[in-house]
Amino acid sequence: MKTPLAWRNLAHNKARTAVAVAGVAFAVVLIFMQLGFRGAVVSTATLIYDALEFDVLIRSVEYLHFADPRSFPRSRLHVAASTPGVAHVAPFYAQTNQWRNPQNGSRRGLLVMGVSVGQKAFRLPELRRQIEKLTSPEFVLIDRKSRREFGPAQGEQFSDADLGVETNVGEARVRVVGHFALGAGLAADGALVTSDEGFVRLTPGQSVEWVSLGLVRVQPGANHEHVAREIDNLLPVDVEVMTRREAAERETRHWLRGTPIGLIFQMGVGISLIVGVAIVYQVLSSDVTAHLGEYATLKAMGYTDQKLARVVISQSLCLAILGFGPGLLAARVLYEVTSYYANIPIAMTWPRVAGVLLMTIAMCAASGVAALRKVWVADPAELF
């Protein structure tokens, strides 16, 4: 067995190593948080789509994002319904509106969704049951995952205690008749579901003949893409038709590319990596400088630059592994905390863990390579 010089050096200078490990852990936490936020954007972007029951989506060409979908004539849905392979088409209405906090009267924007009561627009069984309660246009269901600023009776989140509470959405009076768990994501802090008539009532200038989305179910065994193309061919250019996967992809892309959010988090990852490289380089290069005479002696003895490179690189990889563990642990805790307080889902996924581990290793290796130059210029002739 070779003498584990890299490891010995780290173990010997514990203070220096602790600084490096803390630096790596810090960078790891930063990277995880940035990726977590970015991941939250991705998962919340499609959160509502994931909850909706459809195979093919019809939407206006002016569609921006879920909370601002624009609208198109309901008659387009009749055409779609008659397309071969289509089993069912349901209209869906969505728009942001102002909710008045029943506790203190403050106003806050939330997402209002309207569904035809008889049709299964949502996948969630809880929501489906609740929708049956929407027997009157002023009845609404409130999302329990709405922020507490919307004024739940018990302070934290909406519950049975809020049933029967009356407040205003826009100018109209509404009554809470049920609640459900969804989470509206980035576009809105809260969400409510009402009937199509209720939606029109809350949205001045709206009519049930102008829908936000068309939710198409295809017949079992039918090819979704094929059906989507068929519908698209039949409909005028004021709407676009896409499969479920495409809709989700485009929604994600909108948030990551169409807004600065994605860029901000990507920059965040990049800057975290640079911070990590700077810290690890600083520690490694001062370690190498402190041992320059020793390294030069090894060179004189016949150690090649490659062999010495292996020592420094192993040292940097040790730091990567040592720093990654605590970083992962801290990030895990911060994910929980952030999820709880920001009400956005941030989950630690295995691909992300693997990705950050690779980034950490690359970061430390890069620092190691930078520190190596010092070893390479170490001239054993200077030792005499």
Partner 1 sequence: MSQTVSLPATSSRLALTDVKTPNIQSRGLNFYFGDGELRKQVLFDNNLDVMPGEIVIMTGPSGSGKTTLLTLIGGLRTAKEGSLKVLKQEMVGASAQQLVRLRRQMGFIFQAHNLFESLTAFQNVKMALELFDFSQQEMRTRITETLTRLGLGHRIHYKPDSLSGGQRQRVAIARGLVHKPKLILADEPTAALDEKSGREVVTIFQELAREEGCTILIVTHDNRILDVADRIVNMVDGRIKSNVYVQESAKVCEFLQKCDFLRDLTPRTLVEVADKMFREDFSSGDTIIRQGDPGDKFYLIRKGSVEIEATRNGETKIVAVLGEGDFFGEMALLTDAPRNATVRAKEQTVLYALGKADFLSVIEQSPTFEQELRKSIFERQ
Please give the residue ranges that form the binding site for partner 1 (CB under 8 A): 1-3, 5, 8-9, 11-13, 291, 293-294, 296-298, 300-304, 379-381, 383-384
Q: Nearest distance from residue 11's CB to partner 1, in Å?
A: 7
Q: Nearest distance from residue 368's CB to partner 1, in Å?
A: 17
By beta-carbon proximity to partner 1, the closer residue of 350 and 384 is 384
φ and ψ at 377, to 5 degrees? -85, -5
Question: How far apart are alpha carbons 311 and 304 in whole angstroms?
Answer: 11
Locate tokens 């863990």: which residue? 353
Residues with Cβ within 8 Å of 347's Cβ and at least 6 positions away in sequence, in order, are 39, 43, 335, 339
Cβ neighbourhood burial of 310 (10 Å; 0-12, 13-18, 19+): middle
Q: Nearest distance from residue 324's CB to partner 1, in Å?
A: 23
By beta-carbon proximity to partner 1, the closer residue of 7 and 340 is 7
| Phi and psi based region of residue 255 (left: phi greater than 0; alpha: psi -120 to 50; beta: remaining) | alpha
Residues with Cβ within 8 Å of 175's Cβ and at least 6 positions away in sequence, in order, are 136, 138, 139, 140, 164, 165, 166
By beta-carbon proximity to partner 1, the closer residue of 160 and 379 is 379
Q: Nearest distance from residue 380's CB to partner 1, in Å?
A: 5
Q: Nearest distance from residue 268's CB to partner 1, in Å?
A: 36
| CA atoms in the 13 A half-sphere facing the CB of 327 | 27
By beta-carbon proximity to partner 1, the closer residue of 1 and 237 is 1
Q: Nearest distance from residue 2's CB to partner 1, in Å?
A: 6
Question: How far apart are alpha carbons 152 and 84 in whole angstroms?
Answer: 46
By beta-carbon proximity to partner 1, the closer residue of 98 and 297 is 297
By beta-carbon proximity to partner 1, the closer residue of 17 and 343 is 17
